[in-house]
């Protein structure tokens, strides 16, 4: 393990392996070992985590990292932070590879209808409210390495023929972009119309017929918009519109 200052004032820790970079960074924040702006990345994760208690397959060759950001607001802001982090990943991938990826609301990174990665955003109350934003991207994963149950759902840069970016450069760009958007968010406590427009343009979900599940609630409809609150708006079959903040759409 070694430390350096990679992104301006952000202190970065690189690990060969860890349970989960989100867990590692949260532990450091709880123990006050991490400066306000920190990042942790790992070559592999033993228990990579996704939303809704799911696991995130993290073999060697992928990009797995988490970084911290002081945040204005509370847990209500999580959907929005997640979307802004998704937009930041999309822009970084576009800048470095020339390929446009999409964001399936609220946190999946998609390409050609398959999952290329994901974002897990969590809040920690340390010296101040801090968002821990974890990103995982499948870079060099080959078809035969994908677990059987994920074969139709998962993909990677190599499988799709997307140019492989330098991992550190990609991580740096994603962090820089997210810093910029969260700074804007913290300042305005809202999002510019221009940023909303970008979010809509990279949405995989808008226009799709979906089934929404949260606990016992199951709804079917069409995603019509992403709102300034971070909610997805669904037009239900009875003609009413519903805004959803958590749960899953398929
Ligand atoms: C999801 O698929 O629901 C989100 C996946 C997020 C994975 C990243 S990898 C780096 C960070 N550490 C984790 O344990 N999870 C996130």
For the cut 50, the answer to whether the pLDDT of residue 240 exceeds it is yes
HSE-CB of 90 using CA atoms within 13 angstroms? 25
Give pLDDT tens digits for 65-92: 999 988 887 787 888 899 999 999 999 9
Which of 48, 55, 154 is the pocket-test mutation for ligand 1 (most atoms within 8 Å of CB)?
Answer: 48
Q: Is there an atom of ligand 1 within 6 Å of 48 CB?
A: yes
- Give the global pTM: 0.93
Q: Is there an atom of ligand 1 within 6 Å of 107 CB?
A: yes
Ligand 1, atom nearest to 115 Cα = 2
Q: How many CB atoms lie within 10 A of CB 8?
A: 10
**SS3 state at 245:** coil
| Cα 238 to ligand 1 centroid, rounded to whole Å | 36
Q: What share of the chain is helix, strand, coil (3-state, %, to 5)?
A: 30, 35, 35
Task: Dump the DSSP string for 91-153.
Answer: HHHHHHHS---EEETTTEEEETTEEEEEEEEEEEESSSEEEEEEEEE--S--GGGS-GGGTTT
Give pLDDT tens digits for 2-51: 233 344 568 899 999 999 999 999 999 988 888 878 999 999 999 999 99
Give pLDDT tens digits for 161-207: 999 999 999 999 999 999 999 988 888 888 899 999 999 999 999 99
Do residues 109 and 92 touch, judged by C-beta distance below 8 A?
Answer: no
Ligand 1, atom nearest to 51 Cα = 3
Give pLDDT tens digits for 133-162: 999 999 999 999 999 999 999 999 999 999
Q: Is there an atom of ligand 1 within 6 Å of 22 CB?
A: yes
Residue nearest to atom 9 of ligand 1 (CA): 136
Residue nearest to atom 1 of ligand 1 (CA): 50
What is the chain's mean pLDDT, rounded?
91
Question: Cα 13–102–244 angle (5° rounding)?
Answer: 95
Ligand 1, atom nearest to 58 Cα = 9
């Amino acid at each position: 393990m070694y430390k350096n200052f990679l992104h301006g004032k952000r202190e970065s820790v690189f690990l060969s392996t860890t349970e989960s970079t989100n867990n590692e960074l949260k532990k450091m924040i709880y123990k006050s070992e991490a400066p306000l702006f920190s990042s942790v990345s790992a070559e592999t994760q033993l228990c990579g985590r996704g939303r809704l208690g799911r696991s995130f397959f993290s073999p060697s060759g992928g990009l797995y990292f988490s970084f911290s950001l002081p945040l204005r607001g509370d847990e209500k802001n999580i959907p929005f932070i997640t979307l802004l982090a998704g937009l930041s990943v999309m822009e970084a991938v576009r800048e470095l590879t020339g390929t446009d990826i999409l964001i399936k609301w609220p946190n999946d990174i998609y390409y050609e209808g398959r999952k290329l990665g994901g974002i897990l955003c969590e809040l920690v109350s340390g010296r101040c409210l801090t968002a821990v934003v974890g990103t995982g991207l499948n870079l060099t994963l080959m078809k035969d390495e994908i677990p059987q149950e994920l074969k139709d759902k998962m993909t990677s840069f190599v499988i799709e023929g997307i140019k492989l970016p330098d991992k550190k450069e990609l991580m740096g760009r994603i962090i820089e972009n997210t810093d910029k958007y969260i700074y804007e968010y913290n300042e305005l406590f809202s999002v510019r119309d221009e940023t909303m427009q970008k979010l809509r343009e990279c949405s995989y979900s808008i226009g799709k017929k979906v089934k929404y599940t949260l606990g016992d609630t199951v709804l079917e409809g069409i995603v019509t918009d992403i709102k300034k609150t971070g909610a997805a708006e669904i037009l239900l079959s009875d003609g009413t519109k519903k805004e959803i903040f958590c749960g899953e759409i398929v």
